[in-house]
Amino acid sequence: MRTREAILDAAEQIMLEEGYAGVTTRRVAARADVNQGMVYYHFGVMDDLFTELFRRGADKTFRRQAEALASPQPLWALWDMMQDPSHSALTMEFVALANHRKAIRGVIADSSSRFRRLQEEAITRILEERGAASDTWPPLALILFLSSVSRFLLMEQSFEISVGHDQMTAVVEDHLRRIEGERRTPPPR
Amino acid sequence: MRTREAILDAAEQIMLEEGYAGVTTRRVAARADVNQGMVYYHFGVMDDLFTELFRRGADKTFRRQAEALASPQPLWALWDMMQDPSHSALTMEFVALANHRKAIRGVIADSSSRFRRLQEEAITRILEERGAASDTWPPLALILFLSSVSRFLLMEQSFEISVGHDQMTAVVEDHLRRIEGERRTPPPR
DNA sequence: GTCTATACCGAGATAGAC
DNA sequence: GTCTATCTCGGTATAGAC
C-alpha cells in the first residue's frame, strides 16, 4: 500500500500547488517517483483517483471538526478551523473540479450533507445549553453564516484582496462572543 | 468585429456549460463557426481570450450593479442581483481559473477592488441617509456579508444542497428589512 | 505489483497561401 | 481577415513482459 499512498500524496500536493488541472497521471507518477502504469493499476481512471483523494481528506476534516465541536468553546474552535487555509484549499479545488466532473459532484454533495448534519446537531445542542435561543440566529443560519464568510474571505485572500476583512471578522467574532463569551484560547498563527 | 464577438460568445457559452477547461481554441472556433486560426489572430494566446472575456462580463456587471445601487431600495436590489445564478456562474468559473493562471489573477483582483470601492461608497451613503448607523453593521461588513452568503448559497445550490438555506436567507432578509423596510418590488423568479 | 512500449487523441501555436 | 497545413507536446489509456 505504500505506492498507493505515495500516489495520493503526490496528487494532493500537485492539486494544492497548481490546481486540479495539473493533476495528470504522468505528473502524479513522476512526483510520487512511481511508474505511470501504477496510477491506473491502483485507481483505474482519473475520476477514481480524485474520488479517493477527496474521501481521504474529508475523513480527516470530519475527525478534526468533531474534535473542535467537542472542545470547551466549540464555536470559536469551529471558526478557527474554518479560517485555516490548509483546511479549505483542497475543498475549494474540489468544488471547482466538480463543476465539470459529474462523478465528483455526488461524492462532494454526500459529504457536505454529512458535515452539515453533524454541525447542526452539535450547534443546536450548544445553543440550548447556553440558553441563547432567543436573541441569536437559528443553528443552521449560524453554521451557514460562518461557512460562507470564512470561505469568502479565504478566497479573497488568495487574490490578495483584504478590503473590509477586518470589519467582517469583527462582526463575526462579536457574534461568537455574545454566545460563547470571550475566547479563551488564542487564535492560531 | 463580428468574428471577434462570435468567438467571445462561444467561449462564454462553453465556459458556462462545461467549465473553463472546456474552453480550447479548437472548440471555441467550432462553436463560433469560425476557423481555428481566427482565435489566435484576434486574441493572441488563450490567456488574452480569457482576460478579454472577463472584462466584457465585468463591465456588464458593473453597469448592472450601478443600476441596482441607484434604485429605490438599493440593498434589496443588490441582494437580488447577487442571488442571480447567471450573474455569478461566470465569476465563479473565473475564480477557479485564476487559481492556476497567474495572468488572470491580476485582472480579477483589480476588478474586485473596483467593485468593492463602488459598493462601499454607495452603501455608506445609503446607511447615512437612513440614519441607520447605530444598530447596524459597518458598510464593508454588510457588503461582505451579502457577498459571502449569496456566493455560498449559489455554490451549494449547484450541488443540489439546500439544508438551512431558508433559515440563512430569512436572517439576511430580516437584516435588510431593518435597514430598508419591507421590500417593495417582488423578488425575481 | 511493477515496468516498458505504444496507440491515440486533442491541446496550443505558427507559417504561409489566398 | 481568413483558411489550410503542420509541428510539437502532453494528456488518457491499454497490452503484455517480467
- Subunit contact A148:B148, Cβ cutoff 8 A: yes
Q: Give the pLDDT confidence of A90-124 residue by residue, as tens digits.
A: 999 999 999 888 889 999 999 999 999 999 999 99
Give the per-residue pLDDT at A31: 98
**Nine-digit cell at A149?**
464568510
Res B160: pLDDT: 94
Gap from A104 CA to C1 C1', Å: 28
Whether residues B66 and B28 share a domain: the answer is: no
Helices A25-32/A2-18 angle, 10° precision:
120
**Whether residue A173 is found in the same domain as residue A84:** yes
pLDDT at residue B133 tops 70: no
Dist CA B119 CA B140 (whole Å) = 8
DSSP B13-63: HHHHHH-GGG--HHHHHHHHTS-HHHHHHHHSSHHHHHHHHHHHHHHHHHH
C-alpha cell, A90: 483542497
- For residue A133, the 8-state DSSP code is T
Domain residues for the domain of B100 are 46-180
pLDDT, position B67: 96
CB contact under 8 A, A168 and B140: yes
Both B28 and B111 in one domain: the answer is no
- Nucleic chain D: which protein residues 35-74 of A have CB below 7 A from it? 36-37, 40, 45-46
- Protein-proximal nucleotides of chain D (any atom < 7 Å from a CB): 1-5, 10-16
What number is the average pLDDT over the span B54-79? 96
Same domain, A147 and A130: yes
What count of CB pairs under 8 Å joins A to B? 124
Block residue for cell numbers 483517483: A49
User: What number of other Cβ atoms are within 10 A of residue A186's Cβ?
Assistant: 7
Q: Do B164 and A95 touch (CB under 8 A)?
A: no
CA torsion, ordered A178, A180, A186, A189, to nearest 10 deg: -80
Averaged pLDDT of chain A: 94
A111 and A31 in a single domain? The answer is no
Q: Do B55 and B80 sit in the same domain of this protein?
A: yes
Q: C-alpha cell of A80?
A: 478557527
Q: How far is the CA of A2 from the C1' of C6 (A)?
A: 28
**Residues of chain A with C-beta less than 8 angstroms from the C-beta of B159:** 98, 105, 108-109, 112
Residue B134: what pLDDT? 60
Going by C-alpha positions, the residue among A35, A188, A47, A62 that lies closest to residue A122 is A62
Determine what percent of chain B is predicted with pLDDT higher than 90: 86
Q: Is the pLDDT of residue A133 over 60?
A: no
Q: Do B18 and B95 fall into the same domain?
A: no
For residue A135, is pLDDT > 80?
no
Per-residue pLDDT, A132: 62
Question: Could you give the number of structural domains in chain A?
Answer: 2
- The CATH code of the domain that includes B110 is 1.10.357
* Mean pLDDT over each residue of chain B, to the nearest integer: 94
Q: How far is A107 from A52, CA to CA, in rounded Å?
A: 10
Distance A11 CA to D15 C1' (A): 25
The beta-carbon neighbor of B137 closest among A138, A145, A171 is: A171
pTM score: 0.95
Instruction: Indicate if the pLDDT at residue A157 is higher than 70.
Output: yes
CATH of the domain at A38: 1.10.10.60
